[in-house]
Amino acid sequence: MIKAAFSFILTAIVLIVAALYIAYGEVEPCRVLAVEEARRSDNAGLVTGAIESLTRASTSQMSTSECVSRLLDSWGERLKGD
């Protein structure tokens, strides 16, 4: 029973990490948040890489838990259609 639960948890973690890497090319929450914010920015005239560099500079000052929280908020807004 414990072995099955451990296997399930480990598989879930691997799938989450793989999904983040496939979607964002990153797995660290603050870097993922920087990519997410760059993609959602309204500055269509700027190169995405430049925007990502700017957002990465701002997210580098945040804690991991703050990045995770903002990332979840961003995904929630996207699901609502905001």
pLDDT tens sequence across 11-30: 999 999 999 999 999 899 99
The answer to whether residue 42 scores a pLDDT higher than 90 is no
DSSP state of 41: -
Whether 25 and 56 have beta carbons less than 8 Å apart is answered as no
Give exposure, 63-72, as e/b (b: 16+ Cβ within 10 Å): eeeebeebbe
Domain that holds residue 14: 2-80
Q: How many domains does the chain have?
A: 1
- Report the distance separating Cα 81 and Cα 76, nearest Å: 9
Question: Quick one: CA dihedral 73, 19, 40, 68, positive or negative?
Answer: positive
pTM over 0.85: no
